[in-house]
Amino acid sequence: MYSRREIPASVARSLLGLIPGRSAFVWVVAFSVSLNILLLVVPFYAIEVFDRVISSGSVETLVGLTIIAAIALVFSAAFDTLRSRLLSRFAVRFERYLAPIVLESMIVDATNRGDSRAQDLAKVRELRTFLSSATIASLLDAPFLPAFIFILFFLHPWYGLIALVGTAVLLTMGIVSRWIARSEIAQASQAAQKTQITLDGIVRHSALVRAMGWTRGAIREFMDLNDQALSPVVRASERVYAIGAAARMVRTTLQVAAIGAGAWLVLQSEVLAGSLIASSILIARTLQPMEGLISARRALTAAHEAWKQVQTAAAPVLAREKRTLLPSPSGRIAVERVSHRTPTTPRPILAGIDFECPPSGIIVVIGPTGAGKSTLLRLMAGLERPSGGTIRLDDAALNNWDPDQLGQFVGYLPQEVQLLGGTVAEAIAGFDEHARDEDIVAAAMLAQAHEMILSLPAGYQTEIGRDGNRLSGGQRQRIGLARAFFGDRKLILLDEPNANLDPDGEHALCSAIQRAKARGATLVIVTHRPQLLTIADAVLLLRDGAQLAFGSPAEVLRLPVTPVAKPHVVRQGTESQRLAAGRTAR
Ligand SMILES: Nc1ncnc2c1ncn2[C@@H]1O[C@H](COP(=O)(O)OP(=O)(O)OP(=O)(O)O)[C@@H](O)[C@H]1O
Ligand SMILES: [Mg+2]
């Protein structure tokens, strides 16, 4: 993942480039120009009425001028409506085009897993709201302020001066208001994220929280975090509101000053009465958006932060090269000098893992707790990228496969089975839109889960609850197994598939594995129990992240370092000899 400071400039450009309807912005600008020109109609009307109609006493001129002004105002209202409609449509497009990119990066960016990234999507939504807000409109009107000030100078230098001073004072206040709230806003958004992560955990595990007697503790924890998130917000708002109130006062004072100055100029016969009215309208027009801009500061800062976060979130997906779809693999897997470490671990979790397996082989991975077995499987499943070395499926490194295509060929049963909620059938087929019922049933049969599933209240349509929490551990494991077998898997990775199984289940598992093998799948199985060693073609022994041995079961089990109880029968096929001949322990 990119840290904020190193987001490539191209990210912002290509992100914006992706959004269709950017051309609508040309229209938005055109409407803004017309709108602001039409706004000049009111002061112009005032000048004409006071200085021409009143002195000449011509009713026709008054009627004519009024009709022109009315038409201009209708047009300006229409342009305003059109502009805000365009903006809100653009905002919706913005969300619709960015949300999938951000969601994809939440899914595929392996380096970033573990953080709660749902916030990234919330930021996209926040930006959408911002884009269609009144803040944007006042930002769009801002460039016309100099033109208004110029006209005021033209009416009389004093008016221009008042507007100029007012703008400068209000701008300074705006900058100050941004500056004093900056760190608080950043703090608040960080604290809010932390609160959300904690809240998610509490809600997800609410039953556990209650059963462990943590209810009050959880509430206290949440309230503490919430306070931490709120207090900077309160502090920032207080300051920003104080400045806002001061700005309002400055503006009204200046408007009063403009009228006073105008009256003085009229008395001195420097200007006509019409320009007094016109200038006070124009000064109000100039200073009002300023005030809007000051209160928009907060929204602008938040939007800026959100935009940065969205860029950070989208960067990995944008930076990812397009993958060519490769032919269906045969299932040959090669692990080449693989090592793995994370920023938090002082020493590598895995180092120097090196073995390979021909199609339809069964490798059993053994080793004591914490040896790195699950980590190896996660790397082989492509959940994480190894920090050193390469894992290849049919000669192509895993990261050269298109992730969705690779997913079709690799089945993975994690040590802690996580089932996506929904029905049993959905838990087995995942988000595969082309999943056929017969394939789901076939996978369940292979995993010996079919009868168990039929005994559930609604069979394959039984709702399994969030994370499958309405199922027993063994049921979850069998459904997880069916999911790993589902479809045309060429590489099946099972992390302690027999951990929750009774002896019958374990026996069934062995035959399921052999049937998957007969179908041409390569299997890599982590286990602590000896039963599965009887069907292994090769055994990989890990300890402390190192590969102690790789060879035929007989060979590896003979080694004094091997920790598991030796099974009674060790099958010795030609295949295991071939495997063992290839690589040996280091
Ligand atoms: N994401 C991670 N971040 C930091 N350390 C990790 C991470 N995942 C695993 N580890 C560490 O790597 C080591 C190996 O973990 P792993 O889960 O691979 O062990 P294992 O062999 O599967 O153990 P077990 O038999 O208990 O399941 C452990 O010391 C663990 O603390
Ligand atoms: Mg493990």
DSSP-derived pairing of the beta strands 388-393 and 396-397: antiparallel
| Distance in angstroms between the alpha carbons of the first and the last residue of the chain | 34
The verdict on 290 and 363 lying in the same domain is: no
The verdict on 140 and 256 lying in the same domain is: yes
The verdict on 404 and 493 lying in the same domain is: yes
374 lines ligand 1 (CB under 6 A): yes
The verdict on 337 and 259 lying in the same domain is: no
- CATH at 515: 3.40.50.300
Ligand 1 atom nearest to CA at 384: 1
Which two tokens mark 318?
Answer: 């944008």
- CATH at 300: 1.20.1560.10
415 lines ligand 1 (CB under 6 A): yes
138 lines ligand 1 (CB under 6 A): no
Cα dihedral: 339, 342, 347, 352 (round 10): 0
214 CB-contact burial (10 Å; exposed 0-12 / middle 13-18 / buried 19+): middle
The verdict on 236 and 198 lying in the same domain is: yes
The verdict on 272 and 142 lying in the same domain is: yes
Q: What is residue 7's predicted lDDT score, i.e. its pLDDT?
A: 54
Within a domain: residue 322? no
The verdict on 246 and 366 lying in the same domain is: no
The verdict on 271 and 369 lying in the same domain is: no
387 lines ligand 1 (CB under 6 A): no
Q: At what angle do helices 59-108 and 41-48 cross, to 10 degrees?
A: 170
Picking from 288, 315, 342, the residue at the C-terminal end of a domain is 315
373 lines ligand 1 (CB under 6 A): yes
Ligand 1 atom nearest to CA at 415: 27
Within a domain: residue 405? yes
Instruction: Provide the domain count of the chain.
Output: 2
SS3 334: strand
Q: Return the closest-CA partner of residue 441 out of 508, 506, 505, 486.
A: 486
Within a domain: residue 445? no
Tens digits of pLDDT across the chain (586 residues): 444 445 556 666 666 666 666 677 788 888 888 988 888 888 889 888 888 888 888 888 899 999 999 999 999 999 989 988 888 888 888 888 888 888 887 776 655 544 546 678 888 898 899 888 888 887 888 888 888 899 999 989 999 999 999 889 888 887 887 788 778 878 888 888 888 888 988 988 888 888 888 899 999 999 999 988 888 888 888 887 888 888 889 888 988 988 999 899 989 988 888 888 888 888 888 887 777 776 677 788 888 888 888 888 887 777 766 777 888 888 899 999 999 988 888 889 999 999 999 999 999 999 999 999 999 999 999 888 898 899 999 988 988 888 778 888 899 999 888 888 788 898 898 877 788 889 999 999 888 889 989 999 889 999 887 777 778 888 888 899 999 999 888 999 999 988 877 788 788 888 889 988 998 999 999 998 888 888 999 999 999 999 998 998 888 888 766 665 544 434 444 444 444 444 443 3
Q: Which ligand is nearest to the CA of 369?
A: 1
- Give the closest residue (by CA) to ligand 1 atom 30: 370
Helix H or strand E encompassing 338: strand 333-340
The verdict on 254 and 344 lying in the same domain is: no
Within a domain: residue 202? yes
Q: Which ligand is nearest to the CA of 349?
A: 1
149 lines ligand 1 (CB under 6 A): no
Report the predicted TM-score, pTM, of the whole model to 2 decimal places.
Answer: 0.67
Q: Which residue carries 């909620």 as its tokens? A: 421
Ligand 1 atom nearest to CA at 114: 1
Q: Which ligand is nearest to the CA of 528?
A: 1
Within a domain: residue 60? no
Domain that holds residue 541: 333-418+489-582
The verdict on 201 and 297 lying in the same domain is: yes
CA of 93 to the centre of ligand 1 (A): 43
DSSP state of 325: P
Within a domain: residue 468? no
Q: What type of residue is 100?
A: P
Q: Return the closest-CA partner of residue 366 out of 556, 579, 182, 174.
A: 556
Q: How many CB atoms lie within 10 A of CB 81?
A: 11
342 lines ligand 1 (CB under 6 A): yes
Q: How many CB atoms lie within 10 A of CB 191?
A: 19
Best residue among 112, 344, 345 to mutate for probing ligand 1's pocket (most ligand atoms within 8 Å of CB) is 345
In whole angstroms, give the CA distance from residue 481 to residue 478.
5
The verdict on 270 and 142 lying in the same domain is: yes
